[in-house]
Amino acid sequence: MSKLDEENIIELEELDTPEETAENKKDNDVRSESAKKIVFSTCLILSDFVLLPLIMAYIAWVLAFGVIAVSNGFMGVVMIMSLDGFILGSGYIAIPEMPSSSSFFIGMALLALGTLSGIWTEISRMYLFQAIRKSIRFHRNILGKKSNAAPPLPLHPWITPGKRNIMRIIAKVSVAVLITGIVLAFVTMIISARSLEPWHVWEWFGGTPHS
């Protein structure tokens, strides 16, 4: 046997069998997948430091509009039912002097504004919940197995056509009531005060009243 044949035999003996090759490939795939998960987990943790404050700020946004909606609705009821004397007597809220008709129209405008704020609050809440669900699913897909990965959620929340139409109609009516209430309240105040500046006649901001 020649020296070249002996070297070929040695090289063949050093080669892995098909079973060993498959096992090595499997081990390499496992190590590669583990390394990817470590990298992705680190990136997720770092991104969460940015995402969580944004979510908290958006929660504060939703709560703020909810408070605005409730406050406008409450003040609208107070103005319409002429409860300003009771509220003024409590010392918590100062409502300027005005005719009852003007108070009624302003109350209608405030109710409309509260309704619009409530619709915006609901829309913001749906976007908030959609963002949270989307973030949770993204984390699960990254950290879980690829075979169990779920399709990503859309950015915009799903609103049924019926609910969308109802919200659109209520919003349009509220805008019309808001504008009409403001205009009629101003007109009735001008007529009652016989002045284009009724706030001066009734001394809303102090000073000498105008005749």
Q: Is residue 101 part of a domain?
A: yes
For the cut 80, the answer to whether the pLDDT of residue 158 exceeds it is yes
Q: End-to-end alpha-carbon separation of the chain, Å? A: 129
* Mean pLDDT across the chain: 77
140: containing domain? 63-201
What's the pLDDT at 4?
47
What burial class does residue 123 get, using C-beta atoms within 10 Å of its C-beta: 0-12 exposed, 13-18 middle, 19+ buried? Answer: middle
| Residue 2 identity (one-letter amino acid) | S
pLDDT tens-digit map of 20-32? 555 555 555 555 6
Give the rounded distance of the alpha carbon of 91 from its chain centre: 35
Res 14 pLDDT > 70:
no
The answer to whether position 91 is within a domain reads yes
- Residue 42 inside a domain? The answer is no
45 belongs to a structural domain: no
Q: Give 150 or 91, the one with higher predicted confidence.
A: 150
| Of 98, 80, 75, 85, the residue nearest 189 (C-alpha) | 98
Quote the number of domains for the chain: 1
Residue 2 in any domain: the answer is no
pLDDT band at residue 146 using 50, 70 and 90 as cut-offs: low
- pLDDT over threshold 90, residue 70: yes
- What pLDDT digit, counting tens, does each position of 182-197 carry? 999 999 989 888 888 8
Residue 10 has pLDDT above 50, yes or no: no
What pLDDT is recorded for position 15? 47
Q: Is the residue at 4 inside a domain? A: no
Cβ–Cβ under 8 Å, residues 106 and 124? no
Tokens 């500046």 belong to which residue? 197
d(CA 14, CA 9): 9
pLDDT digits (tens, 9 = 90+) for 77-118: 888 887 655 544 445 566 777 788 888 899 999 999 999 999
Asked if the structure places residue 208 within a domain, the reply is no
Which of 145, 128, 79, 131 shows the shortest CA–CA distance to 108? 79
- Residue 66 pLDDT: 94
In a domain, 28, yes or no: no
Which structure tokens are listed for 61? 């946004």
